[in-house]
């Protein structure tokens, strides 16, 4: 691990930050249990993912089969035939029995998940949506079946079938959103290679699985390979890409005695390492453990529709039974009394309630997708309306995650800035290092003519040299100047270094002629995103593993309210907990594996779509366009969506204040009696109103 490991995450606040509440109560740190899927395969978690996949497939299959069977049910239902004026064409002997058989199939096959859910809710003594659906379809089925076999009344098979179809569709779409979170741990495990090159005492090398490694074993890591486990480099020099683990924006040099982390990517040097930790003790395993813990400990707010369904269930069943008893006591026939009771059940049939939220979500999901947003977790998307703080990862989120030239300094006056940059680009044109790429991209952007170098040679850990235009030119690090005792004092260079920028030097005949400062480039969109969020009353913060100087420079550039520097991945989730401890509803925006625990720990996790798969799978909302401005768009859409949900829920439940008493027969003295068919029409009208209202949802400007 780089020397950031020795630092605690430090919180710093730009001098110009305003509106930050006093933080006298901080949430304490917690020890996180660490665990690793057996054999690094993720098998233990795979069963959970398979269960969700099976449920999604089951609801999908039941929906399509029942939908196909519903078509003939509609065509054979007397109410539908009369409405379409096709009774003569479809009348045939035994048609009611065919209708009964088809409806029985839909009831038992399509309604099974809800009947099973009814049993589960009653066992827990928590009647809710499943209970209401099961009661509605059972009453409709039993009553309609009795009509087929002689009871005077109206058939409600078409209502039964369409209700089951809609509920199956809603549950299928809902279960699909659950799948992503269960894959997050598998994506983390995939960072590790399946095998390692074990070096035996006789010098032989054998490829062995990771679970065969033990502390003290010696392992060979070839160029470009992933480091298998945590350990210490003992032979060779290289650079290591830690971006997937720590958020470091540039490869970190490693030499004998330095630590290596499993899951990071080795550079161009073949090295040998001695294993320190294996299994659940490794750094990546600890991150995996924290992601699992955050997922399991996350509290979920109860869905508004479930609460409404609970009360509607109690009211529907109670009023239905009371209606039956009252009319019997008043001396009316059982046929009249049961029809009143069934009408109550049908009119409270949860078509509108079942669609009130899913339909709004479907519309908002389509709107968001067309605007570069993907909503994976419905409840988290609803929570986004309450956000008070947004915490951004730096590298790859607020910045582009690549080195770019920020400043060119002329040291001896013999060359212009463009000539300094062109000479450096000529030397670095043969290198694949991230600094070299940044210099060459800047030279290309400025349209500079870059000469072809001769005799290129890399100076390990120090830079590179080549002959350009007949002169020996070197591009070197500050360490080379110190090693060669080359004295250089320049106020501008010192200022750039103090800002945390990487400064490299251009030497001609061992004399410094120029300096080039490079930094992780801040996205232009980030400035607009932060400004918009602050206009919405949202506090904007940043987490980064980079140094304090780098973090401070970015925070002041963007006008952030607060920032945390030198924060390791396992500390990021703690920082989110700390911010939540201030009483704020928090969103985390990130793109790397190192952000996964924090994404899950936050009230709302938002992933940059161009980031690693695990960050995407650990997040609730994904920004496909890789544009931080979409964070404010997400908040606006969440607020608009919630308003629509409230409107639909009020209507879907509120219309019952009139419909239930009318269905129960309170208007009977006035000669007004609602039959089951009229109840079904009123219920359908409520559904249509809910659907139209949902379609009126628009993307906030």
What is the average pLDDT across 275-303? Answer: 61
Provide Rg for the chain, Cα atoms: 33
CA distances from 107 to 66, 155, 160, 169, 475 (A): 9, 14, 7, 15, 77
pLDDT greater at residue 692 or residue 368: 692
pLDDT greater at residue 71 or residue 9: 71
pLDDT of residue 677: 55
pLDDT of residue 357: 72
How many other C-beta atoms can be found within 10 angstroms of the C-beta atom of residue 357?
28
pLDDT of residue 324: 87
User: Are residues 476 and 595 located together in one domain of the fold?
Assistant: no
What are the tens digits of pLDDT across the range 500-535?
A: 788 889 988 888 999 998 888 888 889 999 999 999
pLDDT greater at residue 184 or residue 308: 308
β-pair type (586-590, 389-393)? parallel
CATH no. for residue 481?
Answer: 3.40.1110.10
User: Are residues 86 and 66 located together in one domain of the fold?
Assistant: yes
pLDDT of residue 303: 55
Q: Which residues contact 489 (CB under 8 A, 6 or more apart)?
A: none
What are the tens digits of pLDDT across the range 528-563?
A: 999 999 999 999 999 887 778 888 888 988 999 999
What are the tens digits of pLDDT across the range 94-124?
A: 888 999 999 999 999 999 998 998 888 888 8
pLDDT score of 32 more than 60 = no
User: Are residues 690 and 559 located together in one domain of the fold?
Assistant: no
Is residue 52 situated within a structural domain? Answer: yes
User: Are residues 251 and 170 located together in one domain of the fold?
Assistant: no
- Confirm if 157 and 99 have CB atoms less than 8 A apart: yes
pLDDT of residue 485: 84
Active-site residue among 217, 258, 393, 595? 393
Rounded CA separation 345/656 (Å): 11
> Model confidence at 2, in pLDDT bands (50, 70, 90)?
very low
Is residue 209 situated within a structural domain? Answer: yes
What is the average pLDDT across 559-577? Answer: 88
> Model confidence at 217, in pLDDT bands (50, 70, 90)?
very high
> Model confidence at 342, in pLDDT bands (50, 70, 90)?
confident
Question: Angle between the 129-148 and 334-347 helix axes, to the nearest 10 degrees?
Answer: 140
What is the average pLDDT across 361-376? Answer: 69
pLDDT of residue 641: 84
User: Are residues 615 and 651 located together in one domain of the fold?
Assistant: no
pLDDT greater at residue 474 or residue 10: 474
CATH no. for residue 608?
Answer: 3.40.50.1000
pLDDT greater at residue 171 or residue 298: 171
Reduced to 3 states (helix: H, G, I; strand: E, B; else coil), residue 613 is: helix
Q: What are phi and psi of 696, to 5 degrees?
A: -80, -5
Rounded CA separation 446/245 (Å): 34
Is residue 187 situated within a structural domain? Answer: no
User: Are residues 463 and 606 located together in one domain of the fold?
Assistant: no
Is residue 510 situated within a structural domain? Answer: yes
What are the tens digits of pLDDT across the range 433-446?
A: 778 888 888 898 89
CATH no. for residue 222?
Answer: 2.70.150.10
Q: Write out the residue range of the structural domain in which residue 236 sits.
A: 192-286
Is residue 291 situated within a structural domain? Answer: no
Reduced to 3 states (helix: H, G, I; strand: E, B; else coil), residue 266 is: strand
> Model confidence at 31, in pLDDT bands (50, 70, 90)?
very low
What are the tens digits of pLDDT across the range 159-191?
A: 788 878 877 876 676 566 445 434 545 666 677
Q: What are phi and psi of 536, to 5 degrees?
A: -85, 0
* % of the chain with per-residue pLDDT over 70: 77
User: Are residues 536 and 584 located together in one domain of the fold?
Assistant: yes
Most confident of 84-88, 321-325, 589-593, 612-616: 321-325
Rounded CA separation 421/436 (Å): 11
pLDDT greater at residue 691 or residue 428: 428
pLDDT score of 4 more than 50 = no
Is residue 630 situated within a structural domain? Answer: yes
User: Are residues 337 and 463 located together in one domain of the fold?
Assistant: no
pLDDT greater at residue 132 or residue 344: 344
For the question of whether the overall pTM of this predicted structure is more than 0.85, the answer is: no
User: Are residues 446 and 509 located together in one domain of the fold?
Assistant: yes
pLDDT of residue 176: 60
How many other C-beta atoms can be found within 10 angstroms of the C-beta atom of residue 247?
28
Q: Which residue has the tokens 């570069």?
A: 372
H or E element in which residue 619 lies: none
How many other C-beta atoms can be found within 10 angstroms of the C-beta atom of residue 330?
11
Q: How many domains does the chain have?
A: 5
What are the tens digits of pLDDT across the range 128-137?
A: 667 767 877 8
Weakest mean pLDDT among 9-13, 400-404, 526-530, 618-622:
9-13
Is residue 230 situated within a structural domain? Answer: yes
User: Are residues 60 and 91 located together in one domain of the fold?
Assistant: yes
Residue where a domain stops, chosen among 134, 153, 182? 182
Residue where a domain stops, chosen among 466, 489, 522? 522
pLDDT of residue 257: 92
Rounded CA separation 221/211 (Å): 17
Average pLDDT, the chain: 78
User: Are residues 254 and 175 located together in one domain of the fold?
Assistant: no
Residue where a domain stops, chosen among 261, 286, 311? 286
Q: Is 393 a catalytic residue?
A: yes
pLDDT score of 309 more than 90 = no
User: Are residues 90 and 109 located together in one domain of the fold?
Assistant: yes
Is residue 292 situated within a structural domain? Answer: no
């Amino acid at each position: 691990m780089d020397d950031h490991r020795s630092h605690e995450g430090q919180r710093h606040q730009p001098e110009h930050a305003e509106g930050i509440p006093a933080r006298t109560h901080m949430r304490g740190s917690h020890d996180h249990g660490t665990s690793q899927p057996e054999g690094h395969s993720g098998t233990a978690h795979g069963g959970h993912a398979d269960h969700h996949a099976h449920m999604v497939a089951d609801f999908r299959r039941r929906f399509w089969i029942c939908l196909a069977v519903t078509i003939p049910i509609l065509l054979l239902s007397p109410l539908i035939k009369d409405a379409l004026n096709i009774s003569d064409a479809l009348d045939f002997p035994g048609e009611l029995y065919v209708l009964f058989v088809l409806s029985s199939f839909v009831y038992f096959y399509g309604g099974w998940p809800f009947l099973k859910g009814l049993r589960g809710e009653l066992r827990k003594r928590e009647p809710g949506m499943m209970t209401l659906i099961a009661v509605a379809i059972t009453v409709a089925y039993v009553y309609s079946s009795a009509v087929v076999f002689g009871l005077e009344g109206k058939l409600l098979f078409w209502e039964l079938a369409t209700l089951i179809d809609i509920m199956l569709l809603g549950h299928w779409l809902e279960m699909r959103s659950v799948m992503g979170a269960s894959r997050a741990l598998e994506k983390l495990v995939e960072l590790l290679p399946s095998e390692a090159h074990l070096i035996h005492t006789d010098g032989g090398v054998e490829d062995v699985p990771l679970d065969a490694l033990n502390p003290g074993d010696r392992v060979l890591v070839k160029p470009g390979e992933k480091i298998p486990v945590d350990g210490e480099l003992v032979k060779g020099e290289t650079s290591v890409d830690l971006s997937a683990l720590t958020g470091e924006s540039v490869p970190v040099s490693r030499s004998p005695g330095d630590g290596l982390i499993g899951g990071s990517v080795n550079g161009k040097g073949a090295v040998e390492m001695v294993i320190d930790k294996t299994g659940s003790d490794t750094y990546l395993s600890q991150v995996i453990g924290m992601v699992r813990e955050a997922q399991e400990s996350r509290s979920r707010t109860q869905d508004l529709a479930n609460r409404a369904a609970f009360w509607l269930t109690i009211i529907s069943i109670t009023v239905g039974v009371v209606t039956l008893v009252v009319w019997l006591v008043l001396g009316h026939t059982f046929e009249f009394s049961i029809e009143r009771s069934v009408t109550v059940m049908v009119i409270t049939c949860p078509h509108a309630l079942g669609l009130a939220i899913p339909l709004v979500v479907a519309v908002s999901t389509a709107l968001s997708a067309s605007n570069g947003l993907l909503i994976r977790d419905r409840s988290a998307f609803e929570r986004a309306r309450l956000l008070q703080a947004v915490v951004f990862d730096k590298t790859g989120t607020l910045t582009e995650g690549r080195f770019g030239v920020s400043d060119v300094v002329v040291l001896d006056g013999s060359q212009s800035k463009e000539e300094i940059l062109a000479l450096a680009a000529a030397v670095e044109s043969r290198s694949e290092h991230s600094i070299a790429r940044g210099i060459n991209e800047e030279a290309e952007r400025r349209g500079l003519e870059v000469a072809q170098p001769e005799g290129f040679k890399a100076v390990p850990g120090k830079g590179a040299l080549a002959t350009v235009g007949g002169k020996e030119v070197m591009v070197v690090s500050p360490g080379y100047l110190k090693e060669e005792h080359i004295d250089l004092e320049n106020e501008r260079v010192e200022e750039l270094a103090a800002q945390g920028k990487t400064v490299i030097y251009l030497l001609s005949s061992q004399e410094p002629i120029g300096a080039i400062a490079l930094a992780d480039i801040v996205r232009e969109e980030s400035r607009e995103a932060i400004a918009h969020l602050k206009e919405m009353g949202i506090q904007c913060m940043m987490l980064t593993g980079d140094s304090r100087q780098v973090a401070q420079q970015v925070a002041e550039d963007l006008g952030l309210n607060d920032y945390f520097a030198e924060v390791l991945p396992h500390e990021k989730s703690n920082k989110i907990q700390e911010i939540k401890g201030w009483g704020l509803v928090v969103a985390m925006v990130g793109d790397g594996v190192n952000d996964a625990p924090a994404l899950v720990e936050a009230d709302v996790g938002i992933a940059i779509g161009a980031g690693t798969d695990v960050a995407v799978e650990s997040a609730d909302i994904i920004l496909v366009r890789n544009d931080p401005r979409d964070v404010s768009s997400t908040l606006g859409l969440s607020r608009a969506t919630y308003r629509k949900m409230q409107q639909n829920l009020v209507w879907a439940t509120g219309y019952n204040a009139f419909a239930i008493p009318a269905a129960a027969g309170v208007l009977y003295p006035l000669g007004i009696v609602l039959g089951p068919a009229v109840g079904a029409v009123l219920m359908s009208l409520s559904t249509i109103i809910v659907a139209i209202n949902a379609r009126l949802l628009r993307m906030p400007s």
